[in-house]
């Protein structure tokens, strides 16, 4: 008997990390990227442009692009560095 092809689910969204897991996994890498780019950590727009570049560099990783937005991460980093 004929059976339909199984559905291709490879393009479906992957599970995303919660904020804590994301920071735990990528925080050190983001911190290094900020230092390497000599980002002014007191300037929210400078942080945002640096993080946008980091997201762009990691666009192929669905775990990164699917978890946080640049705006959310900017707030998180800015607040962490300016307490």
**What predicted TM-score, i.e. pTM, was given to this entire model?**
0.76
Residue at token pair 């699917």:
66
Phi, psi of 40 (to 5 degrees): -75, 105
pLDDT digits (tens, 9 = 90+) for 45-65: 999 999 999 999 998 888 887
Whether residue 11 has pLDDT greater than 60 = no
* For the chain, the helix, strand and coil percentages under 3-state DSSP, each to the nearest 5: 60, 0, 40
pLDDT of residue 50: 97
């Amino acid at each position: 008997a004929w059976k339909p092809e199984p559905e291709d689910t490879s393009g479906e969204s992957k599970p995303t990390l919660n904020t804590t897991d994301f920071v735990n996994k990528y925080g050190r890498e983001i911190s290094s990227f900020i230092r390497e780019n000599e980002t002014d950590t007191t300037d929210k727009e400078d942080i945002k442009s640096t993080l946008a570049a980091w997201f762009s560099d990691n666009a192929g990783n669905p775990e990164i692009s699917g978890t946080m937005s640049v705006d959310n991460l900017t707030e998180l980093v800015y607040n962490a560095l300016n307490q």
